[in-house]
Amino acid sequence: MSVRVGSRIDLINTGSGHVFLAFAGEEERALMLAEQGGAEPAILSPQLLTRLARVRQKGYEIMESQQVASVTNLSVPIFGPLGTVIAAVTCPYTVRLGKLDAPDQAASVELLIAAGHEISARTSLNDASLHRPPA
């Protein structure tokens, strides 16, 4: 299975979409949904809003893929220098049969969270212009 880099997939039906929506303010969320296209912007159900609040609290999303059978999407945010989410990393998780040393889902989430923190830290460090003292 592969998804082309830069592919556009619905925000409401993906782990990375949930991460973006969970960490966005109301205005930013409305803009993201409006950019999805269609005649009417998507309206988020109360159940989805509750889920997004939980994603924001936990700092990651775990959900069954709605694009590929038997895959669970593990998704974490990547924060930019200003503390906003600039990207999301999603790992498609499947249970490996006959491979006893493969990380389980919980361990995979922890590895992904660590990778997200590392990428976020590097992103912030690489933008030296934001770290200069005022003149």
Interacting residues of 36 by C-beta distance below 8 A, sequence separation 6+: 10, 11, 42
Query: The whole model's pTM is what?
Result: 0.82
42 and 29 Cβ atoms separated by less than 8 Å: no
Question: pLDDT tens for residues 103-123?
Answer: 999 999 999 999 999 999 998
Strand order in the sheet with 61-64: 61-64, 72-79, 85-93
Question: pLDDT tens for residues 63-97?
Answer: 999 888 899 999 999 999 888 999 999 999 998 88
Percent of the chain whose pLDDT exceeds 90:
56
8 and 17 Cβ atoms separated by less than 8 Å: no
d(C-alpha 131, C-alpha 90), whole Å = 29
Sorted by where each starts, the structural domains of the chain and their CATH numbers stand as 15-131 (3.30.450.40)
Measured CA angle at 26 (ends 21, 29), to 5 deg: 40
pLDDT at 39: 59
87 and 102 Cβ atoms separated by less than 8 Å: no
pLDDT at 109: 97
**Which helix (H) or strand (E) element contains residue 75?**
strand 72-79
For residue 79, how many other CB atoms are within 10 A of its CB? 19
